[in-house]
Amino acid sequence: FLKMELNDEEIADVREENTSFFQYNPKLIPLVVVVVGFAVFWVVLVSVSAASMAPQQTLETRVQTENIMTHLDEFQKIALANNNSRSIVNGYNDSAEYVISTLQQEAGDYYQIRKEYFSGVTSTILETPTLSQVFPGHDNRNAIVFEDMIDFRQPRYGGDGKFDLQGKRVILVGGVGCEASDYLEIQECVDSAEGGCVALLPRSSDCTLYDSAVLAESAGALAVLASGPLTNTRVRDTWWTPDSTLVTIPTFSVTNSVSSSLLSLTPSYVDLTANLEVGVHPTYNVIAQGKGGIEKDGAEKRSGSQSVFVGAHLDSVAAGPGLNDNGSGSATILEIAIQVSKIGGDLNNPVRFAWWGAEEEGLIGSRHYVAQLSDSEKSRIAVYMNHDMLASPNYIINVKNATDAPLVTKPGQVVQGMYEDYYNTRKVPFMNGPLQGGSDFLSFLEGDVPAHGMSAGAGEIKTDEGRTLYGGLADAPLDPCYHRACDTIDNINQQCLTDISQATSNVLWSLLNKDNLASFLGRN
């Protein structure tokens, strides 16, 4: 095996250092030396072999759920210190500073981090609105009192201020309420002794409720009642900017039954109260561009071309801390960003991360970002991957269906297929929900940038199929605490969080290492 011989001088040295053993066993010296040498040889050999056989560490193996939970715990502490909320008027800024400081501490100079400032707008209902059909000259005990959230509701941005309208006449506008000429009778009422009337709108697909409400207010209407199925659509410009017009008169969505009751009498009158506050607030997105990429025109381009863009909204609603919606998505991509930097090395394709502000107010942060991009900047985004609500307690794994998106793109379909392949290989069930609205991927699709999205469900009801695949409760919301104060860290399903964060890590790592990303994605 291995033969080692010592001369007399070397033996003497060994004997001197090991007197207690060798003074009685001088014949064992050569044998011991042989055994020790043999052992060292095999230790070295095994160590080298083990190192060569060890699997290469990938992003998926480095992204650990316990680290994501650590970030979520910090988000919860921030919410508790800010009225149990991380909205843009509560704990959002502290959440953003945590993301920035954590990236700087853990990732060093791997990312170029910047704040992108913009103005966000909020709408807060301060008092429960009321609506009644009244009969002037008669006892008010005969009034028909409509019930909030059943017969009517006040949509977000449907007014600004405190209102108390008593015995005001209701006028059905002409046409479908999409033209200024439809409000001539409203204008006549303003000039009459009544001093103004309430506009009743038919539901129309020819224009938005916001468009009609702006026309009604311009004509002098005191309030707007929009008939049809109750809606909580924002009565506001979709791509809102500080220059956009805001509706200030109370605007209610009413059922067809309410509308029929009001139209059954001519004239018809209502009492209406509302107290709603609209505010404009400065806020910002957090953008982190990884090494090897360029974000804005005119910036120094270190290398690489198209970035893989990964994003999640960081804000919550005012009513709760938003640990699932969307602390789960924000914490996940934060941990992924950290681990990408720690692996380091030269990636074939750069990565960009974003934490959006004011998503809960209508995707304002991501829409602002996309609106500022030039065509060349858009072309340097290979695909945008959105993450919103990744740990719903009664979850499904929702791989968004890129084939039914408002902008059907090849890259979105390719990313969808990568997620599906990942889950199929691991025998993890998934479902395909629509990629049509409700989160920041829509901003990119509307801006002609390929996108995809992952989620675990919001207030949707779980189907029997969903229960069969994932357990939980059928005929119950996927997240019972959606947009509520109970969306705390106790609302996080860690198994779901693991299943989606690991899949995203796998898909992202594959994209970052593709030799010809544009060709692979079919990105023109």
Active centre residues (catalytic)? 359
In one-letter notation, the amino acid at residue 406 is: P
Instruction: For residues 9 and 161, give the distance between their C-alpha atoms in angstroms, rounded to a whole number.
Output: 101
Residues 6+ positions from 470 with CB-CB distance below 8 Å: 395, 396, 397, 429
In one-letter notation, the amino acid at residue 47 is: S
Return left, alpha or beta for 249; rule: phi > 0 is left, psi -120 to 50 is alpha, else beta. beta
Instruction: For residues 299 and 322, give the distance between their C-alpha atoms in angstroms, rounded to a whole number.
Output: 35
Name the residue with tokens 């020790």. Answer: 36
Instruction: For residues 357 and 364, give the distance between their C-alpha atoms in angstroms, rounded to a whole number.
Output: 7
> ∠369-373-376 over CA atoms, to 5°?
150
Residue 376 half-sphere exposure toward CB, CA atoms < 13 A: 7
Instruction: For residues 395 and 455, give the distance between their C-alpha atoms in angstroms, rounded to a whole number.
Output: 9
349 and 514 Cβ atoms separated by less than 8 Å: yes
What's the alpha-carbon Rg for the chain, to the nearest Å?
32
User: Between the CA atoms of 189, 193, 196 and 202, what dihedral angle is there, to the nearest 10 degrees?
Assistant: -40
Instruction: For residues 349 and 342, give the distance between their C-alpha atoms in angstroms, rounded to a whole number.
Output: 16
In one-letter notation, the amino acid at residue 184 is: L
173 and 199 Cβ atoms separated by less than 8 Å: yes
CA distances for 355 relative to 160, 245, 331, 396, 468, angstroms? 29, 27, 10, 24, 34
CA distances for 226 relative to 128, 250, 260, 484, angstroms? 18, 11, 12, 27
Instruction: For residues 431 and 398, give the distance between their C-alpha atoms in angstroms, rounded to a whole number.
Output: 5
Instruction: For residues 479 and 490, give the distance between their C-alpha atoms in angstroms, rounded to a whole number.
Output: 12
Instruction: For residues 99 and 87, give the distance between their C-alpha atoms in angstroms, rounded to a whole number.
Output: 15
